[in-house]
Structure 1
Amino acid sequence: MKKIIYPLLLSLCFVSVSIAQETIDLLDTTEETEETKGRMNALGVSAGFPGFAVDYSRKISEHFSAKVRYNFFKIEDYKAGELDISGNAVTGIVSAESSTLDLLIEMLPFKNSSFKLVGGLGVINKMKLDILMEYEESVTFGDVVLTKEDYGNLNIGFSWEKVAPYLGFGFGRAVPKGKLGFGVELGYYYSQSPNISLDATKLLAPTASQEEKVQQTFKTWEFIPLFQFRLAYAF
């Protein structure tokens, strides 16, 4: 009887150890798989030109990620400085506002590098630039003195609208390998020529008739640059 029980107990012990080892191996494999997959989502904040941005990214594969990014910026009545026009000091006051929503795909062409190519569409909700120019000092012609109020002012407005293709490149994964990641990106939106408005008052009022010429001068402003530094949190 003992000859039968001892081999049976040994067999049960061997089976138990084998099952336990297989369970440990399975757990280790699962952990490695999860580690290999890494984190699949990320939230990012960016700063640069033309302003600030927040984004959400989703990892599709080892080489591709999708990103939704919202860019925004606003500045009002910024005194850009003085210009010298025909010996007269002219002050430039700048106001700008932008709001764009980007739908992007990021590609990592090299396995062990964070270099990336970015492409997609930018929905330009608002992108405006206004430059107000006015004489800083009085101007004298013989016995006649003209103050800056007499001259009036000149306002040039630029605005871009609609959907624009976007291409860019940079360094830094959309979804970092670790919890935090840093990146930089340079790109361009290819938009239509800006709509230009030209308004002038008082003695400068005749300048407004040159709006068509100004439109022709700036018709090549079809590329809108973007340059941003990004900090991302992966989860």
Structure 2
Amino acid sequence: MGSGLMRLSAQTPPDSSLVKPAPYAIGLQLGSTGIGLQLAKTLRADSRLVGRIGVSYFAYDRVFRVKAGEGKLNITPDLVVGIALASVKWHPFRRNQLFVTAGAGYTWRPNVKANVIAEGNVKFGGLQISEENVGVVNASLKWNSVLGYAGFGYGRSTPIRRLGFAVELGAYYLGSPKVDLQYTGFLETTTIDEQIPVIQNNLRSYRFLPSLQFLLTYGLFNKR
């Protein structure tokens, strides 16, 4: 009977909750702020506290056209989201992969730009304007370069097995945007400059950048 118990014990797999995650991990992230890389390190013996550094990048500059009377407005966005982030991730429960996280980041392109030119004669509110008189409009919204971040999710940044998966939902705090407007053509005859403070005030609630990320991790220096 004793030998039977020994054979049964040998066939029973170890409890994975007793196996520690890898001390380091590298991760590939994909989400609303683009594609990025992340390096993580456990900060406590129980692996419930993890430090992370990472970078993500997204760019978009495809022209889109808006019909305006007989003509069109060609709008060329210049959108680049490049963020470097350092954060700490905490698992409140020992055997649960739920986590909360907070940190700070830096963006080297804290603005969104757009260039607007006319193609043909366009019409605004019944007023028809020639292509030459429309001119060129360059608009920009600029936020802070230093960002705050907070979020929560499920999964480990340093997996128990060689590969791991996590999903994270959070938001960056950008501060209130500032409006910059440069133009030629018919707008020079208007009082639009006087409206810029009003526009900035109306946009002050756009202080946050939501972030949804999916993370695939690879454990490093795992002793298993």
The structure with higher relative contact order (CA 8 Å, sep 6+) is 2
Equivalent in the alignment of 1:119: 102
Structure 1 residue 152 and structure 2 residue 114: aligned?
no
Post-superposition CA distance 1:203-231 (Å, at most 9, x none): 12333443222222212221122222211
- TM superposition shift of 1:110: 2.5
Report the secondary structure of 1:109's partner residue. Answer: coil
Post-superposition CA distance 1:176-218 (Å, at most 9, x none): 1111112221111122212221112111233344322222221
Structure 1 residue 99 and structure 2 residue 82: aligned?
yes
Distance 1:182 1:49 in 2: 17
Q: Residue type of the partner of 2:169?
A: L
Distance 1:130 1:120 in 2: 27
Equivalent in the alignment of 2:151: 168
From 65, 75, 80, the counterpart of 2:60: 75
Please tell me whether Structure 1 or Structure 2 has the larger radius of gyration of its CA atoms: 1
Distance 1:81 1:229 in 2: 32
Distance 2:65 2:216 in 1: 33
Report the secondary structure of 1:187's partner residue. Answer: strand
Contact map agreement 1:49 1:227 (CA 8 A) in 2: yes
Contact map agreement 2:171 2:210 (CA 8 A) in 1: yes
Report the secondary structure of 2:109's partner residue. Answer: strand
Q: Percent identity?
A: 24
State the TM-score, normalized to the length of structure 1.
0.73
Equivalent in the alignment of 1:195: 178
Equivalent in the alignment of 1:131: 114
Q: CA RMSD in A?
A: 2.8
Contact map agreement 2:54 2:86 (CA 8 A) in 1: yes
Contact map agreement 2:146 2:174 (CA 8 A) in 1: yes
Equivalent in the alignment of 1:211: 196
State the TM-score, normalized to the length of structure 2.
0.77
